[in-house]
Amino acid sequence: MKHINMRAAFLALAFLVFVNAQAYDTGLPSHAIREAYFLGQRNDGKTAAFLSQYVQPFPLPKSGPHVSEIEMLTPYAQAVQLSMRRTTGYSAQQAEEEYRKQGDTLRVRVQIRFTPTYGLQAAVSSSQKATGNSGIQLRAEDFWRDFTFRLTQQQDGEERPLEPFDVWSEAIYLRPGHGGSSALGGAEVWLLLDAVDVTSVPVKIEVLTPDGHRFTVEFNLSKLR
């Protein structure tokens, strides 16, 4: 009988480990949304320290574009950030309504900045010059499409790709100088994942630039709220 009980206990433990490794918690309860709401409303050092876990800055490279930071927000962190940004007339009830409407997603944000070696002006190829175009052209707002964004998780010893169900961007414009006009300075790219498609293990995010540089970060979902 003891042997059977030990075996049953082992199987139960193995099942719990499997579930923990396979499923990411979804469906924030009301009390968790209220906690996130009040943490965001504080908008102080504690709020900043909490959100700093979800963003990885990168130093300026010697050449090429600058992937300045990569951020990944869980549903809880999104609720904190949203509350932080809506301090006037924003209630805990509204926070819960917005969460229920939005659902459980993981939001990845990649910030790309121009540098002296990868700026707004770009040299065109010799074939473009042959068609009559000048040797210099301005980068378009969708320049980020030349970058590769790769999101993966480990499963059974292999990397499993994660496919965003939505991708969009916002251009970053530099403040104009005295009497000047604003100029494109980069972009922020968002990739949205359905939380039910991920597991509670580290998510690896890689950004490959057009000149072959790679920026990589991992966010461990088992340690983030």
Residue 3: the pLDDT is 46
Beta-bridge partners for 215 = 207
Residue boundaries of the structural domains of the chain:
49-220
Question: What are the start-end ranges of the H helices in the chain?
Answer: 2-22, 30-42, 45-51, 75-85, 92-102, 126-130
Phi-psi region of 121 (alpha: psi -120 to 50; beta: other; left: phi over 0): beta
Per-residue pLDDT tens over the stretch 41-72: 999 999 999 999 999 999 999 999 999 999 99
Beta-bridge partners for 188 = 111, 170
* Whole-prediction pTM: 0.83
pLDDT at 20 over 60: no
What is the token pair recorded at 127? 């074939």
CA distance 30 to 12: 29
Mean pLDDT of the chain: 86
Q: Out of 18-32, 48-62, 129-143, which region has the weakest mean confidence (pLDDT)? A: 129-143
Angle between helices 30-42 and 75-85 (to 10 degrees): 40
